[in-house]
């Protein structure tokens, strides 16, 4: 099994194979439009603008699984991302990223890159941990995705080389991305 074996559906309803991204560095992110981390779209777009020509692809997968912070339709999500953050990287249909109906891609990603904790240096890491423990303790179990804007970095050969939790800013990943380009 490899990252290139998965089929996904674009936000406008086309089915594609991730094999279309063979030879690219991928940053796969579960996203949401009404989350405290939503401004990360701006940094994701900055990375895409700066590195797409060198082979970086950012793949955004909206999910409504975390406090229902992605309630809109696929068209509404796409419009929100373009209008508010100028998103031009590929976006995909709303996707379940954890639980019994999780898309196989995210089952694979979390199997390849287990949860190791939130970035303790982030100013709200403790608050996120506490909020999850208080309100959604089941989300802290196992290696599945804990919240919106979990990011997986994949090298040009299709190997998952890193997992970055929402408390890691996309721009903080620049050096890791540059090493793979």
Q: Which residues are catalytic?
A: 35
Q: Is 90 in contact with 60 (CB distance < 8 Å)?
A: yes
């Amino acid at each position: 099994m490899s990252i290139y074996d998965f089929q996904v559906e674009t936000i406008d309803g086309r089915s594609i194979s991730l094999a279309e991204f063979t030879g690219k560095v991928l940053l796969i992110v579960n996203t949401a439009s009404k989350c405290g981390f939503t401004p990360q779209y701006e940094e994701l777009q900055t990375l895409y603008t700066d590195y797409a020509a060198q082979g970086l692809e950012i793949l955004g997968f909206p999910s409504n699984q975390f406090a229902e912070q992605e309630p809109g339709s696929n068209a509404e999500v796409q419009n929100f991302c373009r209008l508010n953050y100028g998103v031009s990287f590929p976006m995909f249909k709303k996707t379940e990223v954890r639980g019994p109906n999780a898309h196989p891609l995210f089952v694979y990603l979390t199997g390849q890159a287990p949860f190791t904790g939130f970035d303790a240096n982030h100013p709200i890491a403790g608050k996120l941990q506490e909020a999850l423990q208080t309100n959604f303790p089941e989300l802290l179990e196992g290696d599945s995705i804990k919240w919106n804007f979990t990011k997986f970095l994949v090298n040009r050969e299709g190997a998952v080389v890193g997992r970055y939790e929402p408390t890691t800013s996309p721009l903080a990943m620049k050096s890791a991305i540059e090493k793979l380009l």
